[in-house]
Amino acid sequence: MPHAKLTINIPDDTWIGEISSRHPEVVFQVVASMPSENTGIGLVQLVATDPLPIITDIQDRDDIDDLELLSKQEDEALLQIQTSNPLLLLPVWRAGVPLTTPFDIKDGQATWKLTTSSSRLSSLRTQLENLGIRFDIEHVREIDANQADQLLTDRQQEILLTAVADGYYRTPREATLGDVADTLEIANATCSDVLHRAEDHIIHWFVDEHMETRFSNR
């Protein structure tokens, strides 16, 4: 099944499109969302030097039915927002595609990552086009249920799984590197080298798939 990353150009007639374009330096992180045909409810983490003027701008919008300030720190605020114009989320709701959250919105653009079937991804594209929402597909990658086969060699999988089974990755550790090497009947240096290579592949895959947007906004 495909794993896709899309950049969505949010229409200006939505509250988030207009507000995020008016404050291009601010990051709006959608923590959770619940869309329907006529309304949308979302938890939004607002990251700004001073969130209060932006919250006031949001409240002044005609398409905001309700806004609750759940928490506030010096440069962050967590809001629960209900809108009567859930245009941004209508395509995923109609296509039946779950969005990976959190996702970021900045300067009128949203970055979506999603994993779904080919048919639902095609339906999402159709829904976006029908609603006049411009978008760019950054990438579409085919993944299967056993991504370890694509990330690691058989030898790396064997040694990594042995280390896990022996308790090498528990806190506190239940096995030393030497214990893992003894189980496999290999040298400590060989065990260490293979584990480091496996860890490197897994960590870089995780950052690329789940954290690259956060780093790009720093």
pLDDT at position 210, please?
Answer: 58
Instruction: Please enumerate in sequence order all residues whose Cβ is within 8 A of that of 158, keeping only pairs 6 or more positions apart, or say none.
Output: 184
Q: How far is CA 206 from CA 147, 157, 166, 210, in A?
A: 12, 17, 24, 6
* Cβ proximity of 202 and 151 under 8 Å: yes
Total structural domains within the chain:
2
User: Rounded distance, CA 151 to CA 148, Å?
Assistant: 5
Quote the pLDDT of residue 146: 53
Q: What is the pLDDT of residue 154?
A: 85
Residue 86 and residue 51 in one domain: yes
Residues 132 and 176 occupy one common structural domain: no
Residue 172 to residues 69, 97, 168, 175, 176, Cα–Cα distance (Å): 40, 40, 9, 9, 11
Q: Are residues 6 and 86 in the same domain?
A: yes
Q: What is residue 208's predicted lDDT score, i.e. its pLDDT?
A: 67
Structure tokens at 1: 């099944």
What pLDDT is recorded for position 160?
A: 93
Give the global pTM.
Answer: 0.65
The two three-digit tokens of residue 200, written as one number? 């490197």
Does 218 fall in a domain? Answer: no
One domain for residues 19 and 94: yes
The share of the chain scoring above pLDDT 70, in percent, equals 90
pLDDT-based confidence at residue 139 (cuts at 50, 70, 90): confident
180 has pLDDT over 50: yes
For residue 70, the Cα-to-chain-centroid distance in whole angstroms is 22
Domain that holds residue 128: 2-143
Give me the mean pLDDT over the 73-81 stretch.
94
Q: Minimum mean pLDDT among 10-14, 90-94, 213-217: which range? A: 213-217
Average pLDDT over residues 61-65: 96
Res. 215: pLDDT tops 50: no
